[in-house]
Amino acid sequence: MEKHLLVIHGPNLNMLGKREPEIYGSTTLYEIDAKLKALGEMSDIRVETFQSNHEGAIVEKIQEAVGKCHGLIINPAAYTHTSVAIRDAILLLDVPVIEIHLSNIYKREPFRHKSMVADIATAQISGFGVQGYYLALKGIVGRMKDES
């Protein structure tokens, strides 16, 4: 059976490369997604990526993944600090979940220090920029292979 990894990007991440490059870098979301898919193929993992600026669309995507995906990497972006709905949807999954942030949210404004997802995620990676996505992929692929 082919392993399926879902990667969800939250609001404003579609603007990577343009939005505050001094914080988020110059790599675009398209470039991140392409590399994640290529790295997944090297590990025989199908990587599906999804981005939305809408909380409900993210919740629906997570719900659709129940019983179909073997792992989730999620950057909830601004919803990290506010979305009980996304948290509750993640609780439906019985797979490894990696919460990812490009910047170190704990070195930023105090309102960014609280994550609604951190205590239910398998792990959290923040502050490594786009490399954090690739570290998350490596870690979650390792978990998938250990559980096979």
What residues are labeled active site? 24, 101
CB 72 within 8 A of CB 90: yes
User: Whole-angstrom Cα distance, residue 143 to residue 9?
Assistant: 21
User: Whole-angstrom Cα distance, residue 148 to residue 59?
Assistant: 27
Judged by DSSP in three states, 79 sits in helix
C-alpha distances (whole Å) from 28 to each of 21, 63, 115, 128 are 10, 27, 24, 15
